[in-house]
């Protein structure tokens, strides 16, 4: 078990290094860090001096290590667009994105999983068929379109909910939160639904197909032959067995919520890192792009590790592998 976790941690580090390499190449070779720091009238000599001083003439591996070292301390240089430190720009916007993603994730899990279980257990019922058909629409509708339609109905026509921004936020230390004001909570509803809807349909369809798959297995048939109640079979035996694949995909999907926030934040003018990223793409603000890439990579790696740990909680087959707990068969 320890060996397995250790291997996963090593793999995670490898992924992070790869992402770091891409970020570094962007930072160093696509953008020219010097251009961002000096004016038009700086002479070539001054530029060269600065280059030497910043270590930009060092061998690439050393520069890469320095880049990673700086990144670890939150130092990503200055934004080309606003000339502010990238680290601070991102940190200011992280709470908005994380709170939005969290709300969307809760929405996805607490609505999507029960819907998937229901449609998996009663695949022939008309309401399951309806949900399945509606879910296909959910998958086919681009996120931004869902956002626009929600704004049109609930903001423009009904005036129930705000169409942009975070509303009033409260500072808790450096963190700014939506959760403590009425207007902040109201502002979260439409963006969270928009962000979550696509993932919700995916999770629902996944749980449904896993459920259908598990219901066909021998051990479910044997559980029926043992005369267990439907409740015990559906929720005790079937649901738990669907959890392993569902955890995998759900983990990845929830991770991608943070990345998909790019679109939602643009539609709702939500001041998060996603919006910052779009602006940086439009202006080719390379340091911000590089930093965002690393941030997303980090989130994904963390989520993957959590997913791996969850496996152990669910599946006894993993727990005993390599841990010396396997007992001889006969």
Partner 1 sequence: MAASGGSGWLHRVADSDVWWSFKSSPMTVAAAVATILIVALAFLSPILAPHTPFDPATLSLSDGLKPPVLISPDGDWAFPLGTDDQGRDVLSSIMYGTRLSLVVSLAAVAVAMVLGIALGLVSGYFGGAVDAVIMRVADVQLTFPAILVALLIDGVVRGIISVKRHDEIAIFVVVGAIGLSFWVSYARTVRGSVMVERNKEYVQAARVIGLSPLLIMVRHVLPNVTGPVLVIATLNLGLAVITEATLSFLGVGLPSTEPSLGTLIRLGNEVLQSGDWWITVFPGVTLAALGLAVNLLGDWLRDALNPKLR
Partner 2 sequence: MASPSNNPPLLEVKNLRVEFPTRRGTLLAVDDVSFDIAPGEVLGVVGESGAGKSLTGNAIIGLLEPPGRIAGGEIRLEGRRIDNLPYEEMRKVRGARIGAIFQDPLTSLNPLYSIGRQLVETIQTHLPLSAAEARTRALGLLKEVGIPGAESRIDHYPHQFSGGMRQRVVIALALCAGPRLIVADEPTTALDVSIQAQIIALLKRLCREHGTAVMLVTHDMGVIAETADRVAVMYAGRIAEIGPVRDVVKHAKHPYTKGLMGSIPSLGVRTERLTQIDGAMPRLTEIPKGCAFNPRCTERGSRCLVERPDLMAAGTSRAACWLHDRGGVGVPIPKETVDA
- Note whether 13 binds partner 1 by CB under 8 A: no
- Note whether 326 binds partner 2 by CB under 8 A: yes
Q: In this chain, which stretch among 46-54, 102-110, 140-148, 220-228 interacts with partner 1, using CB under 8 A?
A: 140-148
Three-class SS state of 270: coil
User: Contact, 200 vs 138, CB < 8 A?
Assistant: yes
- Note whether 314 binds partner 2 by CB under 8 A: yes
> Of 42, 209, 248, 321, which lies in the binding site for partner 1, with binding defined by CB under 8 A?
209
CB of 218 to partner 2, least distance (A): 4
> Of 141, 244, 298, 314, which lies in the binding site for partner 1, with binding defined by CB under 8 A?
141
CB of 262 to partner 1, least distance (A): 7
Distance of CA 157 to the CA centre of its chain: 32
Q: Smaller CB distance to partner 2: residue 79 or 234? A: 234
- Note whether 317 binds partner 2 by CB under 8 A: yes
CA distances from 98 to 29, 92, 167, 309 (A): 31, 11, 16, 22
Q: Residue ranges of the alpha helices (H) in the chain?
A: 2-25, 33-37, 44-53, 60-72, 86-107, 113-121, 126-140, 143-150, 182-215, 218-225, 230-231, 239-267, 273-282, 286-314, 316-320
Q: In this chain, which stretch among 150-158, 167-175, 292-300, 318-326 interacts with partner 2, using CB under 8 A?
A: 318-326
Three-class SS state of 170: strand
The Cα–Cα gap between 13 and 47 comes to: 35
- Note whether 242 binds partner 1 by CB under 8 A: no
The interface mask with partner 2, positions 173-212, x = CB under 8 A, is ----------------------------------------
User: Contact, 226 vs 137, CB < 8 A?
Assistant: no
- Note whether 56 binds partner 1 by CB under 8 A: no
CB of 319 to partner 2, least distance (A): 9
């Amino acid at each position: 078990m320890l060996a397995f976790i250790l291997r996963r941690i090593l793999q995670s580090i490898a992924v992070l290094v790869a992402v770091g390499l891409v970020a570094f190449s962007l930072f160093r070779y696509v953008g020219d860090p010097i251009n961002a720091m000096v004016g038009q009238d700086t002479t070539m000599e001054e530029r060269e001096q600065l280059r030497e001083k910043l270590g930009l003439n060092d061998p690439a591996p050393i520069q890469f290590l320095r880049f990673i070292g700086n990144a670890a301390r939150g130092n990503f240089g200055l934004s080309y667009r606003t000339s502010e430190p990238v680290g601070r720009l991102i940190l200011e916007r992280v709470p908005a994105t994380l709170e939005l993603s969290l709300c969307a994730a809760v929405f996805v899990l607490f609505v999507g999983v029960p819907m998937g279980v229901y449609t998996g257990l009663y695949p022939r019922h008309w309401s399951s068929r309806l949900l399945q058909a509606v879910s296909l629409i959910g998958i086919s509708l681009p996120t931004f379109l869902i956002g626009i339609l929600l704004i049109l109905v609930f903001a423009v026509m009904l005036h129930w909910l705000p169409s942009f921004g975070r509303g009033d936020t409260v500072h808790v230390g450096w963190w700014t939160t939506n959760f403590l004001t009425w207007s902040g909570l109201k502002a979260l509803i439409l963006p969270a639904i928009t962000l979550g809807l696509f993932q919700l349909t995916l999770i629902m369809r996944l749980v449904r197909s896993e459920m259908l798959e598990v219901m066909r297995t021998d051990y479910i048939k044997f559980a029926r032959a043992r005369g267990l109640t439907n409740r015990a079979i559906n929720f005790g035996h079937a649901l738990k067995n669907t959890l392993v694949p569902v955890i995998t995909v759900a983990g990845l999907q929830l991770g991608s919520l943070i990345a998909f926030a790019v679109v939602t934040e643009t539609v709702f003018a939500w001041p998060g890192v996603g919006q910052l990223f779009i602006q940086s793409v439009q202006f080719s603000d390379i340091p911000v792009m590089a930093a965002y890439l690393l941030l997303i990579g980090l989130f994904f790696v963390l989520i993957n590790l959590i997913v791996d740990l969850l496996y152990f909680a669910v599946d006894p087959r993993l727990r005993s592998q390599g841990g010396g707990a396997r007992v001889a068969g006969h």
